[in-house]
Structure 1
Amino acid sequence: MEKAPVYFITGGVRSGKSTFAEKTAQELARTNSGTLLYYLACGRAQDEEMQKRIELHRQSRQNSVIPWQSGEFPRNIDNSIPLYNKQTIVLLDCLTTWLDNELFSLDSELSEQHLQNVFEEMMGNIETVRMHCFSLIVVSNEVLHEPLPSSEIVQAYQKTIGRLHQELVARSNQAYLVESGIPLMMKGSK
């Protein structure tokens, strides 16, 4: 079965990457008649700030000329597959929160084996989604460059997100870094 192309979009917190990802999805939908838009949300509204951010994203999609469907899947994103088809452009937002949900949802120690299992499960879920949609856009955060306190948890998270980023960029048709609202193409061509 043919896999959908992947567009990987990363950047710092509040860099404009989600806005760019939504515009990219809408442009793909405009140039490929019959396609649908699906927003695969991985975030959880665990505090007031996150609730506000989620609401802003919802309002942005509601104001879109092309209608969006959406679903919240903090874990096991492959469970979203019955909600779309091969004509659907899926926007996954965001890889970093999904990783957080997967790494810390169980009372597992952060062993190398656990990190490997989470990595393989997430990449397997992404490949499964790719087999069931038209295009997949993955949004992530650049958290590797920010000064963070050194601890076992932080190191495990950084190691795993770094591996995920590298693997996704390797599999991507296009990869972007968004800085201050400006998308910079790092891989691919228009």
Structure 2
Amino acid sequence: MAQAESIVFITGGVRSGKSSFAERLTADIWRQSNAGQLHYIAAMQASDAEMKKRILKHQEGRSQSGLEWITWEKPVSIGELADSFQEQDVVLLDCLTTWLNNELFFEKSEWQEEFFLAHLFEEMWNGIRLIAQRARTLVIVSNEVLHEPIASNELVFQYSRLLGKLHQQIVVSASKAFLVESGTPVEMKGVGK
């Protein structure tokens, strides 16, 4: 079983620099362990030209890092990867908001059902928990979308509600949590906090 410091949470606005920070932090954690593999779980799907550019940028960044990232492209059911990780592995999941979006739209007609939303929360949280238990550290990136007024759109409301619930559960269980603003990480939970 992994150490107590098995979840690190990183959030911030869109294009805030959180993914770059997460990659550097994940690599630093991996270097400190001097063992295990370095993994990247990519939840993003290339649905349009902009997404393709973003995916390519992330891939190039990892390639240029000189590190041997093992990349898993998994837009849904990420918890199924848990058995792929070993005790000394360090895993970066980028990103929770994309993963949630994928899960909601995978079952397009069920997002209005409270049972479906409760089941989805449990499935996603259990997947996170299982990966964190298997690996030395799981670093999770997420977008901070909850500062904006919630539209009257019911789907946006349910998405925001579920994301907020996941954020809270993850941060309670995390050893460290960071908010990245304008490329600057601020430690919100961790040593000395």
User: Which residue number in structure 2 is paired with residue 46 of structure 1?
Assistant: 47
User: Which residue number in structure 2 is paired with residue 31 of structure 1?
Assistant: 32
May I ask how many residue pairs the two structures share in their alignment?
A: 190
2:82·2:127 contact (CA, 8 Å) conserved in 1? no
Deviation at 1:128, TM superposition (A): 1.0
The amino acid that maps onto 1:62 is S
Map residues 111-190 of structure 1 onto 2, 5 A cutoff: 111-189=113-191
What CA distance in whole angstroms lies between the structure 1 residues aligned with 2:186 and 2:49?
Answer: 31
What CA distance in whole angstroms lies between the structure 2 residues aligned with 1:119 and 1:82?
Answer: 20
Q: Sequence identity, in percent?
A: 44
Secondary structure in structure 2 of the residue aligned to 1:137 = strand
Where does the alignment leave 5 or more consecutive residues of structure 2 unmatched? none
More displaced 10-residue stretch of structure 1: 171-180 or 98-107: 98-107
What CA distance in whole angstroms lies between the structure 2 residues aligned with 1:2 and 1:88?
Answer: 9
Where does the alignment leave 5 or more consecutive residues of structure 1 unmatched? none
User: Which residue number in structure 2 is paired with residue 60 of structure 1?
Assistant: 61
* Two-structure CA RMSD over aligned residues (Å): 1.5
- The normalised TM-score by structure 1 is 0.95
The amino acid that maps onto 1:60 is G
What CA distance in whole angstroms lies between the structure 2 residues aligned with 1:101 and 1:31?
Answer: 33
Secondary structure in structure 2 of the residue aligned to 1:69 = strand
Query: CA offsets per residue over residues 5-29 of structure 1, 9 Å max, x none?
Result: 1000000000000000000011111
Task: Classify 1:100/1:134 alpha carbon distance in 2 versus 1 (closer, same or farther; 3 Å).
Answer: same
Task: Classify 1:158/1:88 alpha carbon distance in 2 versus 1 (closer, same or farther; 3 Å).
Answer: same
- The normalised TM-score by structure 2 is 0.93
More displaced 10-residue stretch of structure 1: 139-148 or 87-96: 139-148
User: Which residue number in structure 1 is paired with residue 102 of structure 2?
Assistant: 101
The amino acid that maps onto 2:91 is V
The amino acid that maps onto 2:134 is H
Secondary structure in structure 2 of the residue aligned to 1:43 = coil
